[in-house]
Amino acid sequence: MPILVLGGILGRQAQQLIGHDLEITVSSLDKLRQVEEAAQALGRKAVIHLKIDTGMERIGVHSYSCGPLIEAALASRGCVLKGVYSHLACADDPASPMTALQVERFQEACAHFTRIGAPMPLRHLANSGGVLHFPDTWLDMVRPGILLYGVLPDPAARASVPVRPALSLLSQVVYFKVVRAGHPVSYGATWAPAQDTRVVTIPIGYGDGWPRALSNNGDVLVRGQRRPIVGRICMDQFMVDLGPDGTAYNGDDVVLVGTQGDQAIRVEDVAQRAGTIGYEILTRLNERIPREYVGGSAAA
């Protein structure tokens, strides 16, 4: 299937991208020339999408000055213009007026094709927020990101499309002990139980991407019960308080994200506790964590 590189590129990357049959974002006349030169050096055509800046001020030619880039791309001998797109800055919030302004700017930019009598390429604008809240941004294609994981992009987002989480994060109990009243747990001695309690150790930490901000602040599920993280989260481990009567054994599953029994912890819940957004929680989970892919079309 076609793969579009959405980010900004360096000129020296162009030949490699073309060689791997990747579609390339062209965001300026200078970038277009670099891609053209790479394509000619390879004796191939580069498939490109033009990036129009309608309000992000990240990459892309401004919508009010995009005419020369559009015309140069259409005239290019080394490039095939497949698409034109922009990115929505505030679509996560259905009440933000910014999206309507960006839609207007994008439509005006696309009108340049009609003005010069050129065929309209594929138009794409909607990110996850656009998919959820703004049908007028759907156009020819959509680009859902975090929504594909079944995670809403913002606390203000409306779940107008039925989705379910596609990711769970599990660990296991690796150690069990009784901690006496007043004996502090973990670095900095930031937490100590008021009475004798049972504490288990979980072998995952901020080195794996689990936020240190959840120290004395987060929860996990153990045997279907919500249990608090106590003490500071370490690089490779953290501790959980089972209470004076709680039970767990080495090897028991511990759910950091997902469901267990009738309890659930969502990515959105973790992000709120950590004072960040779901995107950061998901992208922090690094290569130290083994992945296991389950289900798929056969189990759908």
Q: What angle do CA 45, 5, 138 make, to 5 degrees?
A: 105
H or E element at residue 175: strand 175-179
Q: Of the ranges 10-19, 136-145, 152-161, which one carries the lowest mean pLDDT score?
A: 152-161
pTM of the model: 0.89
109-125 confidence digits (pLDDT tens): 999 999 999 999 999 99
Strands 79-85 and 46-53, sheet pairing = parallel
State yes or no: pLDDT of 145 exceeds 60: yes
Confidence of residue 298 (pLDDT cuts 50, 70, 90): low
Fold of 169-289: Lyase, Ornithine Decarboxylase; Chain A, domain 1 (2.40.37)
Residues of the chain with CATH 2.40.37.10: 169-289
Tokens of 187: 């670095």
Whether domain 4-149 has CATH 3.30.1480.10: no
Per-residue tokens: 56:
């992000």
Q: Where in the chain is the domain with CATH 3.20.20.10?
A: 4-149
User: Quick check: 300 pLDDT over 60?
Assistant: no
Q: Tell me: the pLDDT tens digits for 32-58?
A: 999 999 999 999 999 999 999 999 999
Structure confidence by residue, pLDDT tens digits, 170-196: 999 999 999 999 999 999 999 999 999
Q: How many whole angstroms separate alpha carbon 4 and alpha carbon 248? A: 47
* 3 state DSSP class of 194: coil
- Is the per-residue pLDDT at 7 higher than 70? yes
- Does residue 27 register a pLDDT over 50? yes
CA-CA distance, 44 to 21, in Å (whole number)?
Answer: 10
Q: Over range 60-88, report the average pLDDT.
A: 98
What would the mean pLDDT of 265-270 be, rounded to a whole number?
Answer: 97
Residue 294: predicted pLDDT: 87
